[in-house]
Structures are given as structure tokens and as C-alpha cells.
Structure 1
Amino acid sequence: MTATTAAPTSTSATPRHLWTRTRGLLLALAVLIAGAITLAAMHSDTRHGSLDPRSADEYGSRAVAQLLKEQGVSTRVVTTLDEATAAAGPDTTLLITVPDLLTEGQQRRLRAATADSGGRTVLIAPESPSLDVLAPGIRAEGSATVKPRDPGCTEPAANRAGRADAGGVRYAAPDENTDGCYPVNGLPTVLTTSARGEGDTVLLGAPDILFNHRLDEEGNASLALHLLGTRQHLVWYLPSLGDTSATDGGHRSFFDLIPAGWRWATLQLALAAVLAALWRARRLGPLVTEHLPVAIRASEATEGRARLYRKAHARDRAADTLRAATRTRLAPLLGVAASAAHHPEVLVPAVSARLPAGRDPLSLLFGPTPADDTALVRLADELDALEREVRTS
């Protein structure tokens, strides 16, 4: 006895049907994969990131590190708070690229390590509340556009550098032991304040003078060398979100516990959901007639449709339905072809011939939409009266 395979039915999936159903999803996946590959390719080169002295990218700082090396200043990159605090000393300049990224506990530890070290601390664009801990008494007073500006101060290093790309955060310092340069509207964007241990702290309102692509413009190179080359060693601190010291003595929020890049991942998921919704929305096929399991009286169907029209305030659709039905019933009574029943130039003269002189059925059969429900009911009554009058004429 041989086994037989069932013949395919009209509902069996064919390769064409499978392709039609899945092509939208495959296209969305292809777009996501292409985007991921592009992002990976953009970040897979030798660049380390913005303000990184190892980076040859236009927003890196390798050029200034090379100039400092020629001046006998060594540069060392650190990414943890323990390394940064351990390196603080009288012969060291500690550069903090993103001080606002540090937690309050990290800032207090850093302040305690550098306040009496006798070295120099350079803060890139610090704002509140990091200023309250790392540079007490100094306030951030808004920001300004970065562009070439004159020193506007008596500080020798700034005057030797001359015009430089300055701007960004502006600082207000009531303390007399400060020297501000490159002012914008009376407030400096480069500020030096003396520390207790004969060291100092430099606030740099914008990092542009340290970027590779701007170092050869104006007096940027000279100003950068004067700010970072006063000590024998330069420690370049790049704060990292993975630094375990961020949890010491503080509480982390829910968003701090989520891995970096969650915003982009959420955006990609939202985009994928939108694409999937658009793909599924266009899968509506043609209408299919279906025999009802029970018989429904015509009056119930009419009342149901009327309630739907009333709920949607669709007086225009209801009026068109009433007029079209009346015209369809009048056409065979008047000897008008069914195809011409909805043409006023054919139907109206035939109806007028059955009515008394002076009656014009045009506005009744092809008129405007009733203004309210009362007018719609009156229209239905008048159409019934017109049909009875034509039948009895």
C-alpha cells in the first residue's frame, strides 16, 4: 500500500506568498544590519575619541601631545580616579577632560588629592555643580560662541599666545586670586585660580584649542602649550563610566545601571516597530463575501447601518444612500436605463414629466448635504413622497 500526499489547496503557502509576506521584514532587517555595519566601520579605525591625546582624528588631541613631548613634557593617559589621584604632585599637570561626568564623591576625592599637591589642575568646560567642589567660589554664567578672541588680560602666557579660539562657558570669580582671560561680555572664558599648596587650577571654557584640526589656527598652539606645559609631567584623565569609584559613597540611578548606548538601541527598536507596523498595515487584502450563519431581517440591517451613520455624523453618506436608492427605483418606472439613473440630465427631465408644472426635483434627487438630522429625516420623507407620486401618476 503506497502513501499518497495531499494535494495542495488554495490556502497552501507558495514560495511567492512566503516572499510577499516576508519581504518587508527582510528589508527592515537589511536596513538595520547595514546601519550596524556602517556604525561599526566608522568606529573601528584607530581613533580613540574626542580629546584623546592618542587620537589623530580631527577632534583628538594627538598633535598637542606631540608638541608637549618635543618640549620635554611627558603625557600619560589615565581612565580611573585612583590613577588620577595617585599621579597628582608638584611636577604634574592633571587635565580632566569631562569633570561634569564625575560623581560628587569622585569630585571630592579629586579635590582632596590636588588641593595641596602644588601641581596644576586643568578643567575642561566645568559647570555647576562640579565647580562647587573642584573650584569653590567660581560660578558658571552661561556660554558663548567659540571664535578667535583677544586675551583681554595681563597674564603673560595669554598675551604671548595672542588671539585664540576661545568661548564656551563663561566664569565669574569674586576671589582676587584669579586671573581671567579671553572675556566675553566682561566674563572670562579662561580662568586661573591659585590653590593653597602653591599650585593652581585652570578653567578652560571650551576645548577647541586642544583639537588637532584647530591647533595650527591663531595662537591656539601657544596657549595650549602654556596651559599644559608648565610642569614636567602631564596626566590626561579621561573619565570612564566603567570606573568602579563612581559607586563609592553614592547612589546610582536606574539609568546609570543601563549599559551605554541604550538610547540608540531604544531608537532602533522603535524604528523597527514602526517599520513592522507599516509592513503589516499594507497586508489588508480584498474584501471576501461570506454567507452569514443566520438570516437577518432587512429592517435590522437598515437600522444597524443607520445607527452607524448617526454615530459617525455621516449625514452626507446617509443622504447619498437615500438619494441613490430612490433614483435606482425611479429609473425603471420612468423607462430610464439603469446606467443613466444617476445622471441628472437624463433622470430629472423624466421625473419632471410625471409631476405638476413648476415642480423641480433636481435639488431633491441631487441636492446638497442636509444641515442637521432633522433635515435628513425631512429629506427621507420627501423622497418617499416623490416616489409615491411618480408611481401613481
Structure 2
Amino acid sequence: MTGTAPATGATPADAPPTSAADPAGTPAAGTSTAPGAAALWRRHRGAAAVLGILLVSALALAALDRGTRYGHLDPRSAAPTGSRAVAELLRERGVTTRVVTTAREAADAAGPRTTLLVTRPDLLGETQLRSLRTAADLSGGRTVLLGPGARSLPTLAPGVHAEGSAAADDPAPACTLPAAVSAGRASTGSGLRYSTTRPGAVSCYPSGGRPTLLVLPAGTTGTSGGDTVVLGSETALLNESLAEEGNASLALQLLGSRPDLVWYLPSLTDADAPSATEDKALFDLVPAGWSWALLQLFLAAALAALWRSRRLGPLVTEHLPVAIRASETTEGRARLYRKAGARDRAAAVLRGAARGRLAALTGVPASRADDPAALVPSVAARLPDTRDVTSLLFGPAPSDDAALVALADHLDALEREVRTS
């Protein structure tokens, strides 16, 4: 009699016990299941490579940034758009350069033995502009305004008006100012042009009939202060262009007439900054050093994208489930043209297709199918009458739908006659 074996959880008596050395059993208590060094390297070598590339990029950018941590037109910057070169030349001539970043510092430093250079006058607020004008009037020194516009000219140089941009060239002095005559041609283009009605003002380096350099002698600004120089372009002061033409000579003579040079670079930390109601661009509020940080973040994102990207496979041709007849496509396009009222476009398509077929029938090259001088004589030679082929193939667009239908009929008739001739 066959019975059913009892279902119990006990191990049969004849089954061998599981030992520590049995591969199918539980590992021994002293055996480690952690991955080894080789396995960890294979698992994380991609991330390590990305981190290494980022570290090398950061070190390279830091090395490139050693001489360019200062900003645009900064006399301490060795970057192409810095001005360390002109500051070093002035130092060799005995001129001391002092960099200030607030209008209060600039006004306090102005004096009869001082040249005050204001690099970006249009960034200043009314309080700053009035402070600088008062200091310049009382000091008796020289004031050099670099690229002033309509915002700052009424306060810093009354009677001077900006007249638009100058051409990007190196004009001749065309004046009797000793500094300009000695320098010769200089890079004063790519800046602003000016006009003035002040008596005694010297106008130099004209571009389009307007000067790009003005020198207003003492007393021409409404007070008895020192002279004021209005220079429409900053190019002559930049490291990358100082050696061109007479830029170095002009810069040294304009900035080195006094033993002390105060180089005013407006900054966001200026206590006399414009009020919050004045409009500022978004990038004007971002410190200059953040540009390098953004570049590093961009490189990191690009490397991460390359690391995680997958190559796309070849293009796969997909067969449409339904075959669409050419006549249906033509009718659908015709309905779209009609709905849009595009008779001109429809006529152009009809004429273009007819010209292509007629060119093939008459032996005209396909590249000259749209040339009336080549196609019309060949088509007319195959017609028994003298009809206006030019108007039919190259004429104006139809004025209504009936004219468009008539045009299609005439084109078909013309093609049939040429084909049977």
C-alpha cells in the first residue's frame, strides 16, 4: 500500500551536514564578503577620472588667473584688457598710481599735483558725479574722463555732448595739442565722438567730423579748476593695444602730466553708490570672480554629460502602416493653400514644376529652367502660334481662384503641345 510521506522540516538522516568549507552553504564566520580594492577601482574609476579632470582644470584656471584676478582697465591687471603696462611706464617716469574704488576716496585724493582718471563715469550716481566735479574744481589738477556719455557729461563736463559712436580706426590728431602731435595716430576709435561750444576747447582725433578727444582748459567748465580731458575710447590704455600706433605716447602724456595719478574704478562697494531706484543690469550685480566659477561649473556639467551619455544607434527606417497615394497628398496641400489664400505660392509651385518638365522636354539644362532667356525661346520654338510664353511661365500671381485654375489649365495645355511637337 502506497502512502504519502510526511512533510516535516527535519533533515533526512542520510543527508550530509553543511560545513564551513561547503560552497553551497553559509560562509564561515571568519570569511569577509566586502569587495576588494580591484573591484572598488573598477566600480568607481569613472567618477575618479571625472574628479581628476576637474582638479586639473581648476589648477589650470587658477594658473591662468594669477595675473588676471583684477578687472577691466585695472592698472594692477596683466590681462589683455587690463592696464598694468601703462601704470608701469608711468612709474618709470616718476608718476605714482593709486587705485581707488569709491567717489569719496577719489575726491579726497584730488589735488593740484594730481591727475584724476575716472574710468566709467556713466556708472556713477548723481551724488558721486557732483562730488567728483566739486573736488576737480577745487583741486586745480587734471581730470581725465574715459568714455563719458549723456549721463555724466552734464555734470563732469558741461557744454560737451556725445554724438554717437566713432569708427573703429586709428585717426590722425588733426589738432595742435602737443600731446596729440607728439603721439601721432592713436587708437581712439570704437568709442564715442563729442561736440562742444566751450571757448578754448581743443578737439583732436576726429572721426566722421567729430572729435574723439577733447581738452577743456581751466575755466571752460564754469569754474577756475584744472583742465578736463574727455577721451571717448579706452583702447589706448589697454595692455593689448598699448604698443600700437601712438597709444603709449598719448596715454603717458595725458596721464603723466602730474606726479600723482588717482585711478578711480567704480565698484559695488562704493558707499556713495547710486540709489536703489536706478536701473541696473543683472550682470552688473554679479562680481567679476564668479565668471570663472561659472566656467568651472559648465565644464563639470559637460564632463558629467559625456561620462553618462550613450551613443545613439544607426537610423532605423520605419515603414508606414498605410500607403498614401500621391494624388491625396496633392489634394491635401491644395486645400491648405486655399485655406490660407496662398494663391501666389500655389502659382509659384505650378509654374516651377511646369518649367522643370518643359526644360527636360526642350533640352534646356535643369540649372537654367528658371532663366527666361534660356527657357522661353526653346519652348516658343516648339509652338505653332506666337503666344505669350513669358507671361505664362514667369508672370504675376493670379488675382483670384478662377485665375489660378485657368493658369493650371494653360500650363497643362502648353506642356501637352510641347510634348507632341
Task: Give the TM-score category using the shorter length.
Answer: 0.5 to 0.7
Relative to structure 1, the CA distance from residue 46 to residue 371 in structure 2 (aligned partners, 3 Å threshold; closer, same or farther) is closer
The answer to whether residue 251 in structure 2 is matched with residue 224 in structure 1 is: yes
- Indicate if the aligned counterparts of 1:105 and 1:250 stay in contact, CA closer than 8 A: no
Q: In structure 2, what is the Cα distance between the partners aligned to 1:215 and 1:280?
A: 47
Q: Matches of residues 288-327 of structure 1 in structure 2 within 5 Å?
A: 316=319, 318=321
- Aligned-residue RMSD, C-alpha: 4.4
Q: Matches of residues 21-36 of structure 1 in structure 2 within 5 Å?
A: 22-36=44-58
Deviation string 1:169-190 (CA, Å, 9 cap, x unpaired) is 1322242333221111112121
The answer to whether residue 310 in structure 2 is matched with residue 282 in structure 1 is: yes
- Indicate if the aligned counterparts of 2:166 and 2:193 stay in contact, CA closer than 8 A: no
Q: How much has 1:139 moved relative to structure 2?
A: 1.0
Q: In structure 1, what is the Cα distance between the partners aligned to 2:149 and 2:71?
A: 22
2:232 is matched with which residue? 205
Ranges in structure 1 where 5+ consecutive residues have no aligned partner: 285-313, 319-368, 376-393
Q: Matches of residues 44-63 of structure 1 in structure 2 within 5 Å?
A: 44-45=66-67, 51-54=73-76, 60-63=82-85
Alignment-mate amino acid for residue 96 of structure 1: V
- Indicate if the aligned counterparts of 1:214 and 1:220 stay in contact, CA closer than 8 A: yes
Alignment-mate amino acid for residue 94 of structure 1: L
The answer to whether residue 324 in structure 2 is matched with residue 371 in structure 1 is: yes
Q: Percent identity?
A: 51
Q: Matches of residues 256-275 of structure 1 in structure 2 within 5 Å?
A: 258-266=286-294, 268-275=296-303
Deviation string 1:2-33 (CA, Å, 9 cap, x unpaired) is 98479999xx9897886666555444433333
Ranges in structure 2 where 5+ consecutive residues have no aligned partner: 1-18, 21-25, 329-421
Q: Matches of residues 141-160 of structure 1 in structure 2 within 5 Å?
A: 141-147=164-170, 149-160=171-182
Q: How much has 1:92 moved relative to structure 2?
A: 1.8
The answer to whether residue 215 in structure 2 is matched with residue 189 in structure 1 is: no
Report the 3-state secondary structure (helix = DSSP H, G, I; strand = E; otherwise coil) of the residue aligned with 2:66. Answer: coil
Alignment-mate amino acid for residue 163 of structure 1: R
The answer to whether residue 145 in structure 2 is matched with residue 123 in structure 1 is: yes
Q: How much has 1:84 moved relative to structure 2?
A: 0.5
The answer to whether residue 112 in structure 2 is matched with residue 85 in structure 1 is: no
Q: In structure 2, what is the Cα distance between the partners aligned to 1:212 and 1:279?
A: 40
- Indicate if the aligned counterparts of 1:103 and 1:246 stay in contact, CA closer than 8 A: yes
2:272 is matched with which residue? 245
Q: How much has 1:315 moved relative to structure 2?
A: 7.6
Q: How much has 1:141 moved relative to structure 2?
A: 0.7
Relative to structure 1, the CA distance from residue 19 to residue 91 in structure 2 (aligned partners, 3 Å threshold; closer, same or farther) is same
- Indicate if the aligned counterparts of 1:75 and 1:235 stay in contact, CA closer than 8 A: yes
Relative to structure 1, the CA distance from residue 265 to residue 317 in structure 2 (aligned partners, 3 Å threshold; closer, same or farther) is farther
- Indicate if the aligned counterparts of 2:195 and 2:211 stay in contact, CA closer than 8 A: no
1:106 is matched with which residue? 128
- Indicate if the aligned counterparts of 2:146 and 2:233 stay in contact, CA closer than 8 A: yes
- Indicate if the aligned counterparts of 1:166 and 1:205 stay in contact, CA closer than 8 A: yes
Q: In structure 1, what is the Cα distance between the partners aligned to 2:248 and 2:298?
A: 45
Alignment-mate amino acid for residue 276 of structure 1: A
Q: Which moved more, 1:256-265 or 1:13-22?
A: 13-22
Relative to structure 1, the CA distance from residue 67 to residue 16 in structure 2 (aligned partners, 3 Å threshold; closer, same or farther) is closer
Equivalent of 2:192 in 154, 160, 170: 170
What TM-score results when the alignment is normalised by the length of structure 1? Answer: 0.59
Alignment-mate amino acid for residue 109 of structure 2: A
Deviation string 1:127-167 (CA, Å, 9 cap, x unpaired) is 343435433442151132243x3111232332233233332
- Indicate if the aligned counterparts of 2:204 and 2:213 stay in contact, CA closer than 8 A: yes
- Indicate if the aligned counterparts of 1:138 and 1:173 stay in contact, CA closer than 8 A: yes
- Indicate if the aligned counterparts of 1:25 and 1:276 stay in contact, CA closer than 8 A: no
Alignment-mate amino acid for residue 38 of structure 1: A
Q: In structure 1, what is the Cα distance between the partners aligned to 2:299 and 2:68?
A: 30
Q: How much has 1:229 moved relative to structure 2?
A: 2.9
Q: How much has 1:230 moved relative to structure 2?
A: 3.0
Q: In structure 1, what is the Cα distance between the partners aligned to 2:104 and 2:92?
A: 28
Q: In structure 1, what is the Cα distance between the partners aligned to 2:85 and 2:295?
A: 36
Q: How much has 1:241 moved relative to structure 2?
A: 3.3
2:157 is matched with which residue? 135
Report the 3-state secondary structure (helix = DSSP H, G, I; strand = E; otherwise coil) of the residue aligned with 2:266. Answer: coil
Q: How much has 1:220 moved relative to structure 2?
A: 3.2
Q: In structure 1, what is the Cα distance between the partners aligned to 2:288 and 2:28?
A: 55
Deviation string 1:249-287 (CA, Å, 9 cap, x unpaired) is 766867665544445544544554454345444399xxx
Q: In structure 1, what is the Cα distance between the partners aligned to 2:55 and 2:27?
A: 44
1:378 is matched with which residue? none
What TM-score results when the alignment is normalised by the length of structure 2? Answer: 0.56
Q: How much has 1:40 moved relative to structure 2?
A: 0.8
- Indicate if the aligned counterparts of 2:124 and 2:274 stay in contact, CA closer than 8 A: no
Relative to structure 1, the CA distance from residue 217 to residue 252 in structure 2 (aligned partners, 3 Å threshold; closer, same or farther) is closer
Q: How much has 1:98 moved relative to structure 2?
A: 3.0
Q: How much has 1:41 moved relative to structure 2?
A: 0.6
Report the 3-state secondary structure (helix = DSSP H, G, I; strand = E; otherwise coil) of the residue aligned with 2:192. Answer: strand
Relative to structure 1, the CA distance from residue 13 to residue 104 in structure 2 (aligned partners, 3 Å threshold; closer, same or farther) is farther
Q: How much has 1:237 moved relative to structure 2?
A: 1.8
Q: In structure 2, what is the Cα distance between the partners aligned to 1:317 and 1:26?
A: 47
For these two proteins, the number of residue pairs brought into alignment is 294
